[in-house]
Chains A and B, each alone.
Chain A
Amino acid sequence: MTRRLLGLCVVAIVLGCAGCGRTPAAAPALKPTAFGAALVESSGGKQVGATGTLLSQPVIVQVNDDQGSAVQGALVEFRGPAGVGFDPANGLTDSSGQFTTNVTLGDMAGRYQLTASTLTRAQKKVELKVEEVALGYQQQLGRLLDDKYCARCHNPESTPERVSNYDNLEVKPHAFTEGDTLNKMSDTDLTAIISHGGPALSKSALMPPYGYTLSKTEIQALLSYIRLVSDPPYQASGIVYENK
């Protein structure tokens, strides 16, 4: 009787272990063939995307030696806060000294700080911080409103599909990323200027009022978008996701 019980226990334990024991396949270790001295960002920083989605452009970093010329075969590794995905997370630099990775943002809205690192010949770690912005529902709505109502004047960049009106204006509007100026304005001021136009704060009448066109929720969404994309970051908007 007891022996049978014991036997059952053993079987159960073995089964249990087999059930849990899923060992992840170890990634093949990459051996760097060269070492650099510095890590610089080539492109892909400061992108804006929706939470949990793939950024439209890959992040590309470059490894240079102490002369400043590109190094092929150096090992670059990417790390990020919880929820951020890299495809691939590490690899060797190509013939132009660059390493390219596709980044999927985390599930929370906010700014994400990604870290790229490479080793020097003396096994010292060189790091580079790259920042990306993830938009939640509200900020995403704000971005759509920006696209429709604001970007024509507030974004100086012209595309073939959307010509900018920036150059035509006598008083130049501020781009929404201009944190140096916009961060100094309170939420109340920004809401007032969006709702009642430039004259509400004794600024240019070229900025029309949108309070009769957009709802309160929409203006709030626009404000939260402006706060999130501002560079340098707006302080009260809080969280920056970093590696722990």
Chain B
Amino acid sequence: MKPPRNKLSSWWQTLFGHPIRAFGVVSLLFLVSLAIAPAKNYFSEWRHYQKQYLVLIRGRGDAVTLQRHLQTGIQQIWIPELGVVDRCTSCHVGLKEASLADVATQPFRRHPVIPHPIDQFGCVMCHRGQGAATTVAEAHRSTLAWEEPILPARYLESSCGQCHRAALTGTPQLNLGRQLLARNGCVHCHTIKLPDGSTMKATDDPPSLLHIRDKTSREWIYAWLKDPTAYAGSATMPNFKLSDDDARDISAFLIANSTPLPGDTAPIAPSQKAPDPTAGASLYGESFCASCHAVQNAAGNLVGGDVGPELTRVGSKVKPDWLQVWLRSPRTYDAGTAMPHYRFNDQQVALLRTFLLNKADPDFLANVHLDPATPTQIAHGKTLATEYGCASCHEIGGIKKPENFAPELTRIGSKPIAQLIFLPGMPHTLPDYIAAKIRNPRSFGAALKMPQYTFAPSQVDALTTALLSLTERAQTLPPALTVPAPPASNYQPAGKAGELMADLACFSCHAINGRGSDMAPDLTWEGSAVQRSWLKDFLKNPNTLRPALIRRMPKFNLTDSESNELTDYIMTVYQTPAFDRDSMPASGDPPAQVEQGKQLFYSKYACQSCHIVDTTTDKGYIGPTLTQVGSRLNAAWIYHWLKDPQGLRPGTTEPNRNMSDEDARALTAFLMAQRSSGRQEAKK
């Protein structure tokens, strides 16, 4: 112990023993400590990278230009109104150099082409990270307790969503994520307040359970609660991982709680002759049920639309009486359903009912045996239904829709990492946390209520992207700097026609004045487009306009007065202000002009690549068939459509040909000359 102490004190003597020596040593120490700051600056990372960049460009042909563009020293992009202070360009010096397209080493890569100039938006707006940092680690990762690391490229689109509130063409993943949030019931339990003050609305319509006993059996409810995907692979209802007893009790409660719906079941008059065994299938096909409902084919793939529920095993679910009522008039049971009211006659209802009931899976309920429910079980079922928040999605008698059932997600994209509890072994980042939570919520604790969804990996990424866009910045941006979503349309057609359109659920496929779906053509200006006689016939008996489409307008079996009512309304109300529909003659164009139009159609504009006028020679089937277009469309509409298709229907695929007035007039004359030789043929 002693010798080192002596040694130390002798060092002390040597250095500070004499006042002059002490002065010298202290001055030296002072000088060295003064030099630390400039040395740190001199050996900084950004200076190193700027030197490396000079080495990189030395051998290139445009070295002089590149060197002139290079600004040395710490660079900074400062945008006060966005709260952006970015020094990324101190190391990323080649971001704007188009000629560096072949350089793959960072930080010298050229920035990929994007719609926003870097100078006006900065870097952290999109990439997050610490803009003010001047070292690699501090800027990119969350060292020094920085809360915001760089956003991984797979979630980059979330940053677009901070300012752009509506769907953008360039952000498919964000758009999908937002759709999934609204469609898969997320926002039934979690509140998401949007920066414009509104709340994200659910777009799905979970069925009411008030009269569930009319529709299905307790056994089916039990099996469905245990695993919804066992019944339908496409089920949006998540799996609550209920125990056998809990599923038994909830099913008991729902059945006991159900009230019968009065005025339901008029029996069907028995048919005279035995029906053709394939008639049900053909009626299902002719009614284009598959446009909305999917069925699993032999190969296990789902075929059909996703507007209505999957029907692969529907025979194992619904009660025959209920199905009959539903097919006859869906709105008796659910006033807001997307299903149109097909005016089927009794025989058709019977055919479809038999066809659908045969879509049963005998194994599905084979192992479900439930004893009659006891009052304790029913009471326990009610407790469980309340605890799991069933009423957040479904209407259940006696249980109110809970408010704020799950944590609010309005600012989830800026949630501090310190507030998250990570699982052992998972990376400590917000995106990983959100993705893990969506993938397997109960892995964070068996007692958690959030159920298990069945999302594909790409859907998990999309959802994570959409959630990451809900940041503090998105909430606080000045409104002038955001691109708001167009207000949701609550367009409602008036009068009797309006009632009829609600009954036929036109908005399930068509959009009018901003409301409705994009499955079928937008009808906002349909009255300017078509001829009255054609529309009336089409509503009564729709024929094929686009051979390449698998989804088509079904036949609703309208009465004459109904189709008249609809036709009158469409022809009067759905008129474009862009032109007068009677401004061009429907017929009587000079034959020379018709002939000129024909030449233009086949040679100059080569319309036959997508349209068919003469079925013997033309083959293109991307656009509508034009064999009888002269009896279908209005002449002024054709003319203005040829001049500017997107002007009349934004987003239509037909290219604008920048046609001269003369060419457009000649083509209109040619097309108006294409008339049905006889209605009879069309009806066949």
Chain A positions within 8 Å of B, measured between CB atoms, are 2, 50-54, 56, 102, 104, 107-110, 136-138, 140-141, 144, 148-149, 152-153, 160-163, 165, 167-169, 204-213, 217, 220-221, 224, 238-239, 241
Contact = CB atoms under 8 A, between A and B. Distances in A.
Nearest to B156: A52
Given A102-B457, A141-B169, A165-B548, 11 more contacts: A52-B153, A52-B156, A53-B154, A56-B458, A108-B109, A144-B170, A153-B622, A162-B548, A209-B658, A220-B113, A238-B101
Contacts of A208: 605-606, 609, 655, 657
A192 to B, nearest CB: 15
Contacts of A137: 112-114, 170
Contact of B113 (A138, A148, A160, A206): A138
A107 B461 CA distance: 15
Contacts of B621: 163, 165, 168
A168 B458 contact: no
A160 B655 contact: no
Contacts of A108: 104, 109, 112
Contacts of A109: 112
Contact of A136 (B112, B155, B303, B619): B112
A165 B610 contact: yes
A206 B609 CA distance: 6
A148 B654 CA distance: 10
Interface in B604-626: 604-606, 608-610, 619-622
B634 interface: no
B176 to A, nearest CB: 12
B16 to A, nearest CB: 14
Contacts of A207: 609
Contact of B606 (A136, A144, A149, A205): A205
Contacts of A104: 154
**Chain A residues touching B, majority SS:** loop
A109 B155 CA distance: 15
Given A53-B154, A169-B609, A213 B655 contact: yes
Given A138-B113, A210-B655, A161 B550 contact: yes
A54 B156 contact: no
A149 B619 contact: no
B656 to A, nearest CB: 4
Contact of A224 (B113, B114, B548): B113
A52 B152 contact: yes
B50 to A, nearest CB: 22
Nearest to A104: B154
B461 A169 contact: no
Contacts of A102: 457
Contact of A205 (B113, B173, B605): B605
Contacts of A220: 113
Contacts of A213: 646, 655-656
Contacts of A205: 603-606
B489 interface: no
Contacts of B172: 140, 144
B419 interface: no
A53 B155 CA distance: 9
A212 B303 contact: no
A21 to B, nearest CB: 16
B115 interface: yes
B8 A2 contact: yes
B657 A209 contact: yes
A2 B153 CA distance: 51
A141 B171 CA distance: 8
B88 to A, nearest CB: 15
B653 interface: yes
B102 A239 contact: yes
Contacts of B458: 53-54, 56
A102 B173 CA distance: 19
Contacts of B113: 136-138, 220-221, 224
A165 B655 contact: no
Contacts of A56: 458
Interface in B233-277: none
Given A208-B609, A209-B655, A212-B655, A54 B104 contact: no
Contacts of A110: 104
A153 B609 contact: yes
Contacts of A224: 113
A207 B603 CA distance: 12
A135 B608 CA distance: 34
Contacts of B461: 53-54
Contacts of A153: 609, 622
Given A204-B606, A206-B609, A148 B657 contact: no
Contacts of B657: 208-209, 212
A152 B546 CA distance: 14
Nearest to A173: B609
Contacts of B109: 108
A53 B171 CA distance: 13
A108 B154 CA distance: 11
Given A53-B461, A149-B653, A165 B114 contact: no
Contacts of B605: 205, 208
Interface in B104-146: 104, 109, 112-115
Nearest to A138: B113
A40 to B, nearest CB: 26
Given A53-B461, A169-B620, A205-B606, A138 B550 contact: no
Nearest to A237: B101
Contacts of B114: 137-138
Nearest to A221: B113
A99 to B, nearest CB: 19
A131 to B, nearest CB: 16
Nearest to A161: B550
29 contacts: A52-B152, A53-B154, A53-B173, A56-B458, A108-B104, A108-B109, A109-B112, A137-B113, A137-B114, A138-B113, A140-B170, A144-B170, A144-B172, A149-B653, A149-B655, A162-B548, A165-B609, A165-B621, A168-B621, A169-B620, A204-B606, A205-B606, A207-B609, A208-B609, A208-B655, A209-B655, A209-B658, A221-B113, A241-B104
Contacts of A149: 653, 655
Contacts of B656: 212-213
A238 to B, nearest CB: 4
Query: Which 8 residue pairs across A and B have the least CB separation, nearest first?
Result: A52-B153, A168-B619, A52-B154, A107-B153, A212-B656, A205-B606, A238-B102, A206-B609
A177 B109 CA distance: 26
A152 B112 contact: no
B576 to A, nearest CB: 20
B551 to A, nearest CB: 9
Given A205-B606, A208-B606, A160 B101 contact: no
B436 to A, nearest CB: 15
B153 A51 contact: yes
Interface in B76-124: 101-102, 104, 109, 112-115
Contacts of A160: 303, 550
A167 B153 CA distance: 39
A177 B225 CA distance: 48
A108 B656 CA distance: 35
A165 B655 CA distance: 16
Nearest to A168: B619
A104 B460 CA distance: 14
B152, B548, B550, B605 interface centre (most CB from chain A within 10 Å) = B548
Contacts of A144: 169-170, 172
A152 B457 contact: no
Contacts of B609: 153, 165, 168-169, 206-208
A6 B657 CA distance: 84
A138 B169 CA distance: 11
A2 B12 CA distance: 12
A141 B114 CA distance: 10
Contacts of A2: 8
A212 B622 CA distance: 20
Contact of A165 (B606, B622, B646): B622
